Amino acid sequence: MYGFHRFQAVRLFIWVVEALLDEQFELFVSHDILLEYEEKLKEHYSISVAENFLRSLKELPNVQQVEVFFKWQTLDATDPDDNKFVDAAFSANVHYLVSDDKHYHPLQNRDFPVINCIKLEAFKKLLNL
């Protein structure tokens, strides 16, 4: 994402960060997810912004780090990095994996592991925002 698109994305999804800070939901992350967050933040922002955000994330009482003991490789090879989010969701026994990414669509047709994937707009409605 570049220029306007990056600004637009931040503006469109700031409600997620605000809801997290207000402890309106719990976020479960694995070590691999935190590494990806760090990588993506450093691509678009300064190192200090990335480090401060991750430090804050780790200190929030509603952010839990989970250990992933089994890698399911549930998703196809289109974007194998997406599997880390499925693995963490399964390990944490979450209610929902929230994403607009089409790579998660196959989860709806699987009997096991059961992962309920919903889009951001549906999540926003669940939070009554």
Mind listing the domains of the chain with CATH numbers? Answer: 3-126 (3.40.50.1010)
Look at residues 36, 23, 9, 14 and name the one whose alpha carbon lies nearest to residue 62.
23
Q: Which amino acid makes up residue 127?
A: L
Segment of 38-42, 62-66, 74-78, 108-112 carrying the highest mean pLDDT = 62-66
Indicate the pTM of the whole model: 0.81
Burial class (CB in 10 A: 0-12, 13-18, 19+), 96: middle
Model confidence pLDDT, tens digit, residues 57-101? 999 999 999 999 877 776 666 667 788 888 899 999 999 989 888
**Of 106 and 58, the one with more pLDDT:** 58
